[in-house]
Chain A
Amino acid sequence: MKFKAFLTENGVNLLEKRFLPALDKMGKICHLYLTRDHTMFLHNLLNGDGIQSVAQFRKEALFDDYRISSQNEDRIAFAIDISLLQRAVRSSVSICTEFGSGPTQNRLQIKLVKKLPPNCTQPMPFLTFETKGYKSAVIQDVPISKPFSRAQVIELQTALDMAQDLPQTLVQVPDLNQLQNFVDRLKHVGDLLNVSISKYGDLLVQISTTLITVGAEFQKLLVIGEQADAPAEDRNLSAQTRSARAISRGDAQSVQVSVKHFAKSLQCHLAKPDCAFYGIAPQGACLTVIFQFFIPGSRQTDKSISLHCRLPVLDPGSS
């Protein structure tokens, strides 16, 4: 199997300043999944516990001169420590800027290699970062797991396909910062967060303990997918009553997630998305948050970048 590509300046910016810091919050270890057309960073797809996240890039968004080949339909996957990857990118960038001017002078090459590390009898796989300057080259080896077998890749692809299911109703979060501040304060109140999403564009986020209930309600959010008009007679009711009524009509769904997971998913704002959408998967299987990125200077979705998370549901709410 072979993989070799040059990170473009755009790719470096996307990874170093935006995505790697965000993905680092999702978990220490992620799976890097490379195909003929895409590069993906996947968290927790193969184990059911934590937040699942899928960051997907078309190869042109990150790389130049992308070459990949394997006996597995040119697909390669392995596990890698995100913080080590982040460190390697960061220091390669600083070396690049030190040595010369312009991206064409010093190209940052990433390669899959097998090397014999010191004090080892077996060669180990690495993702190598190579910066070639005028007179010297700097090489950084990031250790990775043994690349996946055919069966493992199929398992990963299957899990990925399942994770791409879109909820029927998605509501746009108005202000990620505000929501994050609020949820950070809720962490002191309790562990379980109730999230309700309605076709009217209402998002309700609530924590309850025996002594206290605290929540926030956002109404009239932008809805993508199945939508409906809020009945006028509900207008003056409390947030919780409105939500309960909508659920009984089948116009809303409610699930319970861990407040820590929810707060973690909001850390994806480090990737600097332009907006975020929340939705509940069919049958309340999970809470999905999809981050949208626009082509810079426009309001058109940049289809070459995508990021979404799925939060495990702790107690199936009404659906």
Chain B
Amino acid sequence: MLTDTGPVAKLYLSIIDDVIENMRELFLDEGLEDRVLDDLRHLWESKMMQSKAMEDFRKNNINSSNFVLQLPANYRQTDQELTASVVIPASQNICSFPVKNNSETLATFSLPAGLAYPVQIPAGVTLQTASGQLYKVNVPVVVTPAPAGQQSVSHPTQKAPAPQPVAVPPHTIHPPQEVEPSPVQATSVTQPPQPMTDLPPSQESSLPQQPQVPAADTSQLQGVQSPPPEVTLAENEPSPQAEPVNFSMTASPCSQLLDFQLGTEEALTQTAQLKTRDVDDILKEVIEEEREKADRLDLYSELSDIVQLDGPADNSDMEEEDGGLPLEENDFLGIINAEAIKVLQEGDGSSDGNSISSSSDSEGVDELANVEEEDPLNSGDDVIEQDIPDLFDTDNVIVCQYDKIHRSKNRWKFHLKDGVMCYAGRDYVFSKAVGEAEW
């Protein structure tokens, strides 16, 4: 029932599924119909979606609007061909907008808001996601969300090598980066052959794109390292090949024209030999660029797009589930929520001689009179009311466990783990959170 869902929504839905399934037997034992359980499930899901419906919608908007397509320098040359609008067919509606070729070196434009997938992107384009990761598109690709509703940028040119298993010389350059992420792929990419014919000049554009290449490639690799959790690994096998192949293709030397009509095999074999020389330099550039980009990454916006940044990424769904469920079972949580307190208060047997229930709400004069009792028992008139109104309870709540909470004078540092943050109505699930605050 829910097609476009963010990572958080997916997690919640899986939790709902788990709970419902586990309750099924109990319900049956109680003699309740299955229908009741299904009703419950529908109610639950609808309520959840209502509260978060705006979230996901907003998330879709944000995602698409933050796509920045950077066109390489030589696009100017291929102006004529490429001024034909970049057709980005949405699932239901088709939006098209012209490619900006005004800038000298880089042309960037944002996808319009409300853009839905699949998105067709011409070749020679560098995609930049909201989180700042660059994806170099050398082959016209169509970005489609994964079946689970993934929203991040597709891994370009993956499909190119996929159908043709090519013996690609192993990349010794970035094995550390590649190995782990390779099993996890961002999205499935469908590559229609037709657009290729439309954009032959884009192949030329890939030639002087080497400066772009470094940024794109390691970003691709790093981007793969942090895929969204709900990404279903549609194509696991091609991915390891895809990355090395992709890199080799983008590192193609100037002298080479890639004509994709001929198939990617040629490209691969040709580029493979020539890549080794330039790769080291390119790699250094890439690393520097990526570091800069990484500095700009905002933790939570990243989380909203790509949830799992740490740890092995392939079982991210499982991890989050495990983090999510025990949360509710934990006795001690860093809850700053008034509701939980009531429960505890009820269970608090010893009242230490205080009638909490009676006096808690009574702000009558009776209580005031008893405040000060020194050797001369003064009246309660001197009692100073709290002039400072307590800060109103916000709705922004984090429910989590803590690793370490530190305070120096009035500076606080929080190291939190396994939690859910409700901020501005949206839920963010995290396995690690670091915060600083001043009181």
A binds B: no
Which residues does B use to contact A, with CB under 8 Å? Answer: none
Which residues does A use to contact B, with CB under 8 Å? Answer: none
